[in-house]
Amino acid sequence: MKIDQSIIQKEGVQAYYNRFILIFLKILRLNDIKTEEGKYYSKTYFLRFLREQDDDLFKFTYRFFARAILRIETGKPIIKHFKYVIFVVLSRLFNFQIDLKSDGFMQGMTISTPKDEKVLVKENTYIFHDLNIELDRVHGVKGQTHTATLYLETVYHSKTVESIIEYITGGSKEKLEAYEEKHLKVAYVAMTRPTDLLCISMDEEVYLKNLEQLSTLGWVHYTEALSIQ
């Protein structure tokens, strides 16, 4: 399912998203699943319907798409996982039970029907003792508040925390690159969500280099926090 690099260079990762959606539309057509108006689903109509009917399922599906792209780009298989997601979407959104073993479009890989679709929805949840910690994109929880938030550093052109460390330590930059400005905006959204505790992950070298300023502002390394009685 890996897409030619020339297409990726032209369309970006959106090329994958478009093809993922086309798979859903193809399956809906093959099973004669239509809108209330009796028409076949278009990309726009399908996504709007999915979001309006089940926002949690919409977010789950897009999180899966993101993980699927990473798996494809690293040479890992996704067909089995994709079939599971198709099963969940069709059963929850359309109350349609697709037979993963005998459906003509789905043939090509042996797979058992998932017994409990709730397990799939929890793929993005880290369970620690009795705590369920949901992992999500920053804008996936935009507008919500939380008791505690862990802002995980990722990479978009550069490391998203390291590129704005001057702002985290109370300073600023004379000039921001476009991607750094985006890092700053996303970080602002993330860091204004928690009511009690904010945690940030960053490279150890970056932390040590800025230790004095961070300590002055009240930031504490997690090992120190765990040692507090």
Cross-strand pairs, 146: 194
| In a shared domain, residues 220 and 174 | yes
168 and 217 both lie in a single domain:
yes
Q: Judge whether residue 112 has pLDDT over 50.
A: no
pTM (2 d.p.): 0.45
Asked if residue 62 is part of any domain, the answer here is yes
Task: Specify the 3-state DSSP secondary structure of 194.
Answer: strand
More confident residue, 146 or 187: 187
Half-sphere exposure of 74 (CA within 13 A, CB side): 8
Is the domain of 90 the same as that of 146? no
Overall average pLDDT of the 150-164 stretch: 88
Report if residue 205 sits inside a domain: yes
**Mean of per-residue pLDDT scores for the chain:** 80
Identify whether residues 145 and 115 lie together within a single domain.
no
Does residue 107 sit in the same domain as residue 22?
A: yes
Domain end call among 60, 95, 123 = 123
From 123, 158, 177, give the residue that closes a domain. Answer: 123
Q: Give CA 160 to chain center in angstroms.
A: 16
From 78, 94, 123, the end of a domain falls on 123
Task: Examine the domain organization and report whether 12 and 97 are in the same domain.
Answer: yes
Backbone region of residue 75 per phi and psi (left: phi > 0; alpha: psi in -120 to 50; beta: other values): left
pLDDT for 68 beyond 70: yes
Average the pLDDT over each of 2-6, 75-79, 160-164, 189-193 and give the range with the smallest value: 2-6
Phi, psi of 199, deg, nearest 5: -120, 145
Provide the pLDDT for residue 12. Answer: 66
Q: Which amino acid is at 41?
A: Y
Domain housing 182: 137-227
Q: If you search the block for the tokens 């278009």, which residue do you land on?
A: 42
Q: What is the mean pLDDT of residues 76-93?
A: 86
pLDDT digits (tens, 9 = 90+) for 188-198: 988 988 888 99
Query: Do residues 80 and 111 lie in contact, with contact meaning Cβ atoms separated by under 8 Å?
Result: yes
CA-to-CA distance for 31 and 23, rounded, in angstroms? 12
pLDDT above 60 (res 116): no
Say yes or no: 13 and 61 in one domain. yes
User: Do 18 and 112 lie in a common domain?
Assistant: yes
